[in-house]
Amino acid sequence: MALLQISEPGQSLDPHQRRVAVGIDLGTTHSLVASVRHGVAECLPDEQGKVILPSVVRYLDPAQGGAGRQIGHDALSAQAQDPANTISSVKRLMGRTRAQVADVEKLSYDVVDADGMAVVKTVAGNKTPMEVSAEILATLRFRAEDSFDDDLFGAVITVPAYFDDAQRQATKDAAQLAGIEVLRLINEPTAAAIAYGLDNGAEGVYAIYDLGGGTFDVSILRLTQGVFEVLATGGDSALGGDDYDQALAAWVLEQAGQGAGALDASDRARLHREARRVKEALSGEDVESETFAVNLSSGTAIGQAVTPGEFESCTKPLTDRTMRAVRKVLRDADVDAQDIKGVVLVGGSTRMPVIRRTVGEFFGQTPLTNLNPDEVVALGAAIQANALAGNSQEGDLLLLDVIPLSLGIETMGGLVERIVPRNSTIPTALAQDFTTYQDGQTAMSLHVVQGERDLVADCRSLAKFTLRGIPPMAAGAARIRVTFTVDADGLLSVAAKEQISGVEASIEVKPSYGLSDEQIASMLQESFATAEEDMAARAVVEARVDGQRMIVATQSALTADAGLLSEKERQNIDERMKVLQAFLDNQAASAAEIEAATESLAKGTEAFAAMRMNKGIQQALSGRKVEEV
């Protein structure tokens, strides 16, 4: 049967052919789906009219012949009754091992490691974080398909700016399990900026403060000519409203003279729920106090009035932590608080008056809050999805994100050659040329590392691969171009290509586990603290590598052409080689000493090199046809 062409490729689609593209905020606590309809982004409601889907999945005992699982509100209601099989905050486990999950022992369910990642033990067997997230994503996908009565073309899914490769990859895998085509992963704060249409506003530098249920992100964006650039991102992927709940519950228990030791899992779930209710009630206008009331399994009844002031003071360390991250990200972006043109508050936890006040005071201005803070991220993602699906009339919105830590490769002597510097905007592709170290070297192993330190040993190893089939050449003759490509989702691939022969090898970097924020923070801290030390160490290592290379080259030249030298010339070279070797063998030798000895050997072999070159040319010319030369 012949195909009928109904529209030119690339032409804009008529309204009936619009592709259904959605933005999904896959939150720690809540998830939402939004889409652009009639030019306006809006969150899609479920059958009950609710737009928020609690990010909670409960697995039922298959032996009971149960339907399998409950998702969202039903699961949330069942949490206190069946905490061990009801999974909330699964986002904290994405792309992590058990050891990397902050406060893992405080979760109401059992987390174990299987196949190198954290998984949840349930009555229905082990569940990976990707499977659990896929349940949430699929629920939102069906909601969108029902609402448009059409298949989903694709989705933009948001992730915290601090998510590393492994966490982003896990999110993509979850989407795939849910049968969703991922148009792009974008950072949550970035999505919020789009939702506020900051791109239509005044040019300048903006701060996005996003305090959700389980994550805190702060980003500094610069808007120039309708284009956003993320200057820096920071935050803490294990700090959010949940921690405020925990802090409040702990304070109430203390007031009631209750130790936390006697609590069982269902007590903890009940306390958490009540803490959250009280916290949210205290955000209301002119609330003087709210009663925290819970009956524990032990029979103890707790009833404690909490005032806004008491709540603020028992959670102050958490609020202070967010402000420390704000100051740090401003330093990273190299801007002052006064230079910030606008501040956007995102995430349900920014409804807390103490947050609005603290952030407002710090920046000396009233933050933007007119959009619903729970919905902002999904709305921005929807606008981006609409553009990526080719539905939007306006030109594509260009958004640039950054990578949190530098990427580079290991070079001789265990040094790091940085190829993509920290806070580079992505997507990006950067290349650098390297060469072989030894004559006739036919393979080169590449070691991809992440971090700010100069020595490989102090950075994090991401991947190793080998480039083989380099044609044998003199040391330093091969040209190996190493290209780092970081795609718009923040995923890295590294390719190496020998330019003369064209042989190449590449690797996609999907680390099996991620780094915690504390690790990122401490790696950065160390790199600042040790910059001087590193530089000195680097200079010594570099001098050693150069010196060693000089000796290897001289030895190989002597093996080939010692006959060109007189006795005296030979002695002179040997002498200088011995001096250099002595410095190389001495661990205490300074960079300057090694460099001077290397320089001296180089000088001493200059005449020899010239003789060899002449000999080479003569050899090439004699006894050969012209075409061969």
**Site pattern 337..376 for ligand ADP (x: CB under 6 A):** ----------xxx-xx---------------------x--
Q: Considering beta carbons, is residue 74 or 280 the nearer one to ligand ADP?
A: 280
> What is the largest distance, in Å, between two alpha-carbon atoms of the chain?
104
With CB under 6 A as the contact rule, which of the stretches 25-33, 36-44, 396-404, 540-548 interacts with ligand ADP? 25-33
Q: Which of 131, 135, 165, 188 is catalytic?
A: 188
Q: Considering beta carbons, is residue 283 or 527 the nearer one to ligand ADP?
A: 283
190 touches ligand ADP (CB under 6 A): no
Contact 108, 122 (CB under 8 A): no
Provide, rounded to whole angstroms, the least separation between the CB of residue 217 and ligand ADP: 9
What is the distance between the alpha carbons of residues 312 and 317, in angstroms, rounded to a whole number? Answer: 9
Short-list 273, 214, 29, CA closest to 136: 29
Amino acid identity at 83: P
Interaction residues for ligand ADP, span 229-288 (CB under 6 A): 240-242, 276, 279-280, 283
Interface with ligand ADP (CB under 6 A), residue from 20, 28, 247, 444: 28
Beta-bridge mates of residue 464: 447
What is the distance between the alpha carbons of residues 431 and 419, in angstroms, rounded to a whole number? Answer: 7
**Partner from Mg ion, ligand ADP, none contacting 490, C-beta within 5 to 8 A by type:** none
315 touches ligand ADP (CB under 6 A): no
188 catalytic per annotation:
yes
Q: How many CB atoms lie within 10 A of CB 488?
A: 16
With CB under 5 A as the contact rule, which of the stretches 54-62, 207-215, 263-271, 464-472 interacts with Mg ion? 207-215
Contact 302, 294 (CB under 8 A): yes
What is the distance between the alpha carbons of residues 519 and 102, in angstroms, rounded to a whole number? Answer: 12
25 catalytic per annotation:
yes
Provide, rounded to whole angstroms, the least separation between the CB of residue 51 and ligand ADP: 11
Q: How many CB atoms lie within 10 A of CB 421?
A: 14
How many residues does this entry show for the chain? 629
Contact 220, 228 (CB under 8 A): no
Q: Which residue has the tokens 């049968």?
A: 179
Q: Which of 25, 82, 245, 458 is catalytic?
A: 25
Q: Which of 46, 164, 199, 210 is catalytic?
A: 210
Provide, rounded to whole angstroms, the least separation between the CB of residue 89 and ligand ADP: 8
Q: Considering beta carbons, is residue 248 or 389 the nearer one to ligand ADP?
A: 248
Interaction residues for Mg ion, span 12-31 (CB under 5 A): 27
Provide, rounded to whole angstroms, the least separation between the CB of residue 113 and ligand ADP: 24
- The order of strands in the sheet holding 444-450 is 415-420, 407-411, 444-450, 460-467
Q: Where are the alpha helices (DSSP H) in 81-222?
A: 129-148, 165-177, 188-195
Q: Tokens in use for 178?
A: 């849910």
Q: Considering beta carbons, is residue 212 or 367 the nearer one to Mg ion?
A: 212
241 touches Mg ion (CB under 5 A): no
Provide, rounded to whole angstroms, the least separation between the CB of residue 245 and ligand ADP: 7
Contact 618, 588 (CB under 8 A): no
State the helix-helix crossing angle for 316-333 and 241-255, rounded to 10 degrees.
Answer: 150
Backbone Cα Rg of the chain: 30
Total number of residues that touch ligand ADP (CB under 6 A):
21
Interface with Mg ion (CB under 5 A), residue from 129, 212, 404, 490: 212
What is the distance between the alpha carbons of residues 481 and 628, in angstroms, rounded to a whole number? Answer: 29
Short-list 333, 304, 300, 389, CA closest to 208: 333
Provide, rounded to whole angstroms, the least separation between the CB of residue 219 and Mg ion: 13
Q: Considering beta carbons, is residue 215 or 428 the nearer one to Mg ion?
A: 215
Q: How many CB atoms lie within 10 A of CB 105?
A: 7
Interaction residues for Mg ion, span 311-350 (CB under 5 A): 347
Short-list 453, 464, 240, 435, CA closest to 351: 240
What is the distance between the alpha carbons of residues 33 and 41, in angstroms, rounded to a whole number? Answer: 10
User: For ligand ADP, which residue has the nearest CB?
Assistant: 241
Q: Considering beta carbons, is residue 165 or 374 the nearer one to ligand ADP?
A: 374
Interaction residues for Mg ion, span 27-86 (CB under 5 A): 27
With CB under 5 A as the contact rule, which of the stretches 56-64, 210-218, 279-287, 418-426 interacts with Mg ion? 210-218
Contact 257, 293 (CB under 8 A): no
Provide, rounded to whole angstroms, the least separation between the CB of residue 179 and ligand ADP: 22
Provide, rounded to whole angstroms, the least separation between the CB of residue 217 and Mg ion: 8
Q: Tokens in use for 88?
A: 């909330």
Provide, rounded to whole angstroms, the least separation between the CB of residue 244 and ligand ADP: 7
Provide, rounded to whole angstroms, the least separation between the CB of residue 241 and ligand ADP: 2
210 catalytic per annotation:
yes
With CB under 6 A as the contact rule, which of the stretches 27-35, 38-46, 300-308, 392-400 interacts with ligand ADP? 27-35
Q: Which residues contact 388 (CB under 8 A, 6 or more apart)?
A: 21, 154, 156, 183, 184, 396
Q: Considering beta carbons, is residue 30 or 222 the nearer one to ligand ADP?
A: 30
**Site pattern 191..230 for ligand ADP (x: CB under 6 A):** ---------------------xxxx---------------
Q: Tokens in use for 449?
A: 């590392």
29 touches ligand ADP (CB under 6 A): yes
**Bond prior to 427 in cis (omega within 30° of 0):** yes
Beta-bridge mates of residue 416: 410
Q: Considering beta carbons, is residue 211 or 282 the nearer one to Mg ion?
A: 211
28-56 burial, b at 16+ Cβ within 10 Å, e below that, comes to bbbbbbbbbeeeebebbebeeeebbbbbb
Q: Which of 82, 91, 127, 279 is catalytic?
A: 91
27 touches ligand ADP (CB under 6 A): yes
Q: Which residue has the tokens 């010239």?
A: 610
Catalytic residues: 25, 91, 188, 210
Q: List interacting residues with Mg ion (CB under 5 A).
A: 27, 212, 347
Q: List interacting residues with ligand ADP (CB under 6 A).
A: 27-30, 212-215, 240-242, 276, 279-280, 283, 347-349, 351-352, 374
